[in-house]
């Protein structure tokens, strides 16, 4: 039985990976999570006790990290400060977690000769023009535009340097925008869904022309397991499901599925430095490792996600009022 240490496993993408790994492998999973506002212990409810362990702690604390890494076979590093708006308001936590936290983990993995997989984002590449036929590839130069994406870029480069300088047994994946269960209501899709549930009109930054490449969290999880099993040490793999949609279309699709008029939303002030378009070319992952996404129908995926938020109000309700109050202060 493989022993996985999953950092940030109480967060959105990490918790989905934990559920997926326990359902699709015979691994034992230990989650290390600081339980900041973005981590929710309820996201890990009901997991098999004999194969799951939870540890509350900070990835930047070597005293916590070192023994957990020593007892694991593979470290899967999801933990990150990840919300762009928050990074513009207060960048420091992004440096502490994304840079120092990653450094602490790769030092422990190097010390104990452990396999390491680093989860990153397509936002490290900056953005593309709306009418540009190109997509991001593993060769695209880094061009981050926010404290969030720049600290994620920095963490990627640390992992690459530790592979080359110290022989760290690591791979990296950069994924497009995830959606699905357990996502904090500050994020775009769950914010709009929960607003409609509460009788509040959805909010759209600017004109809503910004394009994101959406992927269901389960497809992200299956890709990560594929890379861990088959990926070449030192390589980077981009994860995407050909799900390009602009924000306006996403909001209108949510409204349609929730029985509202397609124009029942409000435009709000745009985010500073808001990237125009992300688009992933996942050919390397598909051709070299044989991975394919299973959730190719975004319309059906949104419908399932709406159903999850309707059915799990107890999970997201405690977060909602404070989140909307913060957005209101920012005019968003």
Catalytic sites, residue numbers: 122-123, 148
Pairing relation of β-strands 211-216 and 244-246?
antiparallel
Three-state SS at 179: strand
Q: What does the block give as tokens for 198?
A: 């509460």
Angle subtended at Cα 276 by Cα 142 and Cα 10, rounded to the nearest 5 degrees? 70
Strand partners, 128: 277
Q: What's the CA gap between 44 and 211, in Å, rounded?
A: 31
Crossing angle for the helix pair 313-329 and 298-311, to the nearest 10 degrees: 100
Q: What's the CA gap between 100 and 208, in Å, rounded?
A: 35
Q: Burial level of 192, CB count in 10 A (0-12/13-18/19+)?
A: buried
Q: What does the block give as tokens for 160?
A: 């690459």
Strand partners, 238: 174
Separation in Å, CA 289 to CA 20, 44, 150, 282: 19, 29, 28, 11
Q: What's the CA gap between 257 and 272, in Å, rounded?
A: 30
Strand partners, 159: none
Q: Burial level of 123, CB count in 10 A (0-12/13-18/19+)?
A: buried
Residue 8 has what DSSP assignment? T
Angle subtended at Cα 83 by Cα 80 and Cα 183, rounded to the nearest 5 degrees? 85
Q: What's the CA gap between 184 and 12, in Å, rounded?
A: 7
Q: Which residue has the tokens 């378009």?
A: 277
């Amino acid at each position: 039985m493989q022993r996985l240490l999953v950092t940030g496993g109480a967060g959105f993408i990490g918790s989905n990976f934990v559920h997926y790994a326990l359902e699709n492998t015979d691994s034992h999973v230990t989650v290390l999570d600081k339980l900041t506002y973005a981590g929710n212990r309820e996201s890990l409810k009901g997991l098999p006790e004999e194969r799951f362990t939870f540890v509350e702690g900070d990835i930047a604390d070597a005293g916590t990290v070192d023994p957990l890494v020593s007892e694991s076979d593979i470290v899967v590093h999801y933990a990150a400060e990840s919300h762009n708006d928050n990074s513009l308001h207060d960048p420091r936590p992004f440096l502490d977690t994304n840079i120092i936290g990653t450094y602490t983990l790769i030092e422990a993995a190097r010390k104990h000769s452990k396999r390491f997989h680093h989860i990153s984002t397509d936002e490290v590449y900056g953005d593309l023009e709306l009418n540009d036929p190109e997509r991001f590839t593993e060769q695209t130069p880094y061009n981050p535009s926010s404290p969030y994406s720049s600290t994620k870029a920095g963490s990627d480069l640390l992992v690459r340097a530790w592979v080359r300088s110290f022989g760290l047994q690591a791979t990296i994946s950069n994924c497009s925008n995830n959606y699905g269960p357990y996502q904090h209501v500050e994020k775009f899709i769950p914010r709009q869904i929960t607003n409609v549930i509460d009788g509040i009109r959805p909010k759209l930054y600017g004109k809503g022309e910004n394009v994101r490449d959406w992927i269901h969290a389960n497809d992200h999880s299956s890709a990560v397991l594929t890379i861990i099993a088959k990926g070449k040490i030192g390589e980077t793999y981009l994860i995407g499901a050909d799900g390009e949609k602009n924000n306006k279309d996403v909001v209108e699709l949510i409204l349609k599925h929730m029985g509202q008029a397609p124009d029942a939303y409000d435009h709000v002030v745009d985010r500073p430095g808001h990237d125009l378009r992300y688009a992933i070319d996942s050919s390397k992952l598909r051709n070299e490792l044989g991975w394919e996404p299973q959730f190719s129908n975004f319309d059906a995926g949104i419908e399932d996600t709406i159903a999850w938020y309707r059915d799990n109000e107890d999970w997201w309700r405690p977060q909602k009022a404070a989140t909307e109050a913060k957005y209101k202060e920012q005019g968003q």
